[in-house]
Structure 1
Amino acid sequence: MKRNLLILIAVLLVGVLVVGCGGSQEASVKADKIVVGATPVPHAEILNDVVKGLLEKEGITLEVKEFTDYVTPNLALADGSIDANFFQHTPYLNNFAEERGLDLVSIAKVHVEPIGLYSKKISKLEELKDGSVIAIPSDATNEGRALLLLESKGLIKLSDKAGLTATPVDIVENPKNLEFKELEAAQLPRVLKDVTAAIINTNYALEADLVPTKDALIIEGSESPYANILAVRTEDKDNETLQKLVKALNSPEVKEYIADKYKGAIVPAF
């Protein structure tokens, strides 16, 4: 009886090991289909208008899932709901992944979306009055990016110890006593009428029918280190199908599309 029980246990253990090995060898990305999470403008536009057609020629179907925030796309990527995402820059990805304990990595730079200062109440910086309210993104990297932009124009001075993730606490000089309102990035265009000005990411500015090259009072230059990237799970970074997606995103066709459609509002980073 004991001998039969031991044999049964051994068989069950072998079965578990075989299933486990088979599961670990299973590809996490299909060879003929990629599901990419993206914010609507310009990311989903680039994917749908250009990249989808390029991948079809390779026998690959591209499905684009749109997200309207900066949190869900990384969580969806980490849990396997999507194969890649295209909406963020590397500092944001690294900070988010570290905070959440996610194993995600960038495999391609695509374009730079210069962040800018917009207003419905003033038409130039000189009109900023004492105590003006400036709305800025609340996420760690874009908040620091916004403050660095203001510092570059002499509106504030940050502590020498403040890095890319600076917050209003790091402001050591504020001659105009600017008041900062920290909000989720997607909300910034909607509060523009309620504040003196707001620093808005280009994708959300475009969705709100703002033209960065015309409407921004100040804007980052093309030398910005905040290039938008294609992110994947680290285990998939060398996946052949995803590398075909990289090739399509860094293609001459995408470069031409960006130049023609966005007229300098975003610039290629490849």
Structure 2
Amino acid sequence: MRKTLAAVAAAVIAGFSSLALAGTPLSVAATPVPHADILKLIEPDLKAAGYDLKVVEFSDYVSPNLALDAGEVDANYYQHLPFLNASVAARKLKVVPVKPIHILPMAAYSKKVKNVAKLRKGATVTIPNDPSNGGRALLLLEDAGLIKLRPNIGVKATVLDIVSNPRKLRIREVEAAQVPRTLDDVDLAVVNSNYAIGVGLNPVKDSIYLESKTSPYAVVVATLKGHEADAKVQALVKALTSAKVRKFMIEQYKGSVVPVF
């Protein structure tokens, strides 16, 4: 009997101990590179702060916002502010930005030429097909002197806003994650850096044209409206803006990921 009671007591104590050791759940939606990698880096820091991080990976740009809006995750970390704003407007989402973390420079890559000035007439160019990244790619092409857009159109630019295309470039819109895979078949591909990194491309070393350093496209931590000040969200922001993360971004990605904190 005494042995039985002792066993029960030990089990109860073990149960309480495991509960005491369990942290507050914190789930974050992210695309794989570099966002999920950076989140995994800070997992021990969040654990020490009392949070059990769960990274939910998505390969597309739409699902992380839908998951957040549905309350399936506490936050997401993968998108720049213009994309977030466009998504919220288009889908009437309850998602808001909390803190900018880094910039992923967009760049143009080619296996056919070493300089954008050498692009042939009628060259095929692929760009992302979502509105904000498509507009961003068109602004890059304009900055490179390849096209001219309607004045003051800015990040809302679409192919319909091209007012001058002296090289008669054939611009194909492709799902952002697939743009790097078109490189063998086209003359030029304008790629988001997270997808470039994923296929071994570095925008600083491998591109033939790099987006301006004054880019407004900072990637943000986002959460549901009204939850910006939640302790778990603020703990995530604190961990992501640490000196450890800044050092990792600079040393690991060598210009592909630029911290803004």
* TM-score between the two structures when normalised by the length of structure 1: 0.87
Alignment partner of 1:152 out of 130, 136, 143: 143
Does 2:73 match 1:82? Answer: yes
Alignment partner of 1:250 out of 234, 237, 241: 241
2:4 maps to: none
2:177 maps to: 186
TM-superposition CA deviations, 1:30-85 (whole Å, max 9, x none): x7111001111100010002x11111110111110111100001001100111111
Match runs of 1:1-270 below 5 Å: 32-49=24-41, 51-270=42-261
CA contact (8 A) 1:112 1:222 kept: no
TM-superposed deviation, 1:163: 2.4
Superposition misfits of 4+ residues, deviation over 6 angstroms: none
The letter of the residue matching 1:188 is: V
Percent of paired sites with the same residue: 46
Structure 2: distance between partners of 1:102 and 1:126 = 42
Structure 1: distance between partners of 2:185 and 2:162 = 23
1:12 maps to: none
Secondary structure of the structure 1 residue equivalent to 2:138? helix
CA contact (8 A) 2:75 2:224 kept: yes
Structure 2: distance between partners of 1:63 and 1:221 = 34
Structure 2: distance between partners of 1:176 and 1:66 = 40
2:6 maps to: none
CA contact (8 A) 1:189 1:200 kept: yes
TM-superposed deviation, 1:162: 1.7
Secondary structure of the structure 2 residue equivalent to 1:68? coil
TM-superposed deviation, 1:161: 4.3
Q: Which runs of 5+ in 1 are unaligned?
A: 1-30
Structure 2: distance between partners of 1:57 and 1:209 = 33
Structure 2: distance between partners of 1:150 and 1:235 = 38
Structure 1: distance between partners of 2:150 and 2:253 = 35
Structure 1: distance between partners of 2:231 and 2:31 = 24
Paired residues in the alignment total: 240
Structure 2: distance between partners of 1:217 and 1:83 = 39
* TM-score between the two structures when normalised by the length of structure 2: 0.89
TM-superposition CA deviations, 1:128-169 (whole Å, max 9, x none): 000001000011111110111111121111011422110111
CA contact (8 A) 1:34 1:60 kept: yes
Q: Which runs of 5+ in 2 are unaligned?
A: 1-22
Structure 1: distance between partners of 2:243 and 2:152 = 41
Structure 2: distance between partners of 1:211 and 1:243 = 31
2:15 maps to: none
Secondary structure of the structure 2 residue equivalent to 1:87? strand
The letter of the residue matching 2:179 is: L
| Comparing 77-86 and 157-166, the one that deviates more | 157-166
Structure 1: distance between partners of 2:245 and 2:75 = 18
CA contact (8 A) 2:139 2:154 kept: no
1:11 maps to: none
1:3 maps to: none
